[in-house]
């Protein structure tokens, strides 16, 4: 089965020597070590890339997958109300894991603390505290 490469709107059968030379020049210009090139060949990734329909590949996502660019994860915020506990990272981490699942905590801070007297079973009126925290996260 013949391979067709589209160049300038004209379908060409098989790659030309000039295109092969262009690939070799790119390897030389990038200064690719022989061991890295050999690993690329042996892994089958280069073969897969040559078989790919590049019109269906999002280059930015491709670069993220191969580790050349960091993906920009969506940051979201979530409010939590913590009652009668001193807030610590461990408490926030446990609460976030229980409520939101597998996320990375980027930042958290205390938004508001409210002190009041409240009725406690068997203890009468006792000091109480509600702490509202805001947590910034990304999905893993």
Can you tell me the distance from the alpha carbon of 61 to that of 98, in angstroms, rounded to the nearest whole number?
A: 31
- The tens digit of pLDDT for each residue in 102-125 reads 999 999 999 999 999 988 888 889
Q: Which of 36, 39, 105 is nearest to 133 (CA)?
A: 105
Q: Please, which pLDDT band fits residue 81 given cuts at 50, 70 and 90?
A: very high
Query: Count of alpha carbons within 13 Å of 64, Cβ hemisphere only?
Result: 9
Residues 132, 108: contact at Cβ < 8 Å? Answer: no
- The tens digit of pLDDT for each residue in 35-63 reads 998 998 899 988 888 888 888 888 888 88
Mean per-residue pLDDT, 87-93: 93
59 and 94 together in one domain: no
Of 44, 65, 86, which residue constitutes the final position of a domain?
65
pLDDT recorded at residue 63: 86
Q: Is residue 134 scored above 60 in pLDDT?
A: yes
Can you tell me the distance from the alpha carbon of 113 to that of 134, in angstroms, rounded to the nearest whole number?
A: 12
Domain interval for residue 60: 4-65
Q: What is the pTM of this model?
A: 0.49
91 and 118 together in one domain: yes
Strand-pair category, 75-83 with 124-139? antiparallel
Q: Is residue 102 part of a domain?
A: yes
53 and 28 together in one domain: yes
Of 46, 65, 84, which residue constitutes the final position of a domain?
65
Q: Say how many domains are in the chain.
A: 2
Q: Which helix (H) or strand (E) element contains residue 48? A: helix 45-51
Q: Is residue 30 part of a domain?
A: yes
């Amino acid at each position: 089965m013949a391979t067709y490469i589209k160049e300038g709107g004209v379908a060409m059968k098989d790659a030309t020597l000039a295109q092969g030379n262009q690939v070799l020049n790119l390897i030389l210009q990038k200064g690719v070590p022989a061991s890295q090139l050999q690993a690329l060949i042996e892994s089958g990734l280069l073969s897969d890339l040559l078989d790919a329909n590049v019109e269906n590949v999002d280059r930015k996502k491709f670069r993220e997958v191969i580790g050349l660019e960091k993906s920009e994860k969506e940051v979201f915020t979530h409010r939590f109300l913590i009652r009668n506990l001193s807030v610590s990272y461990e408490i926030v981490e446990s609460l976030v894991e229980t409520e939101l699942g597998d996320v990375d905590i980027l930042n958290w801070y205390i938004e508001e603390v409210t002190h009041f007297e409240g009725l406690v079973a068997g203890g009468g009126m006792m000091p109480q505290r509600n702490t509202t925290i805001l947590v910034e996260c990304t999905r893993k």
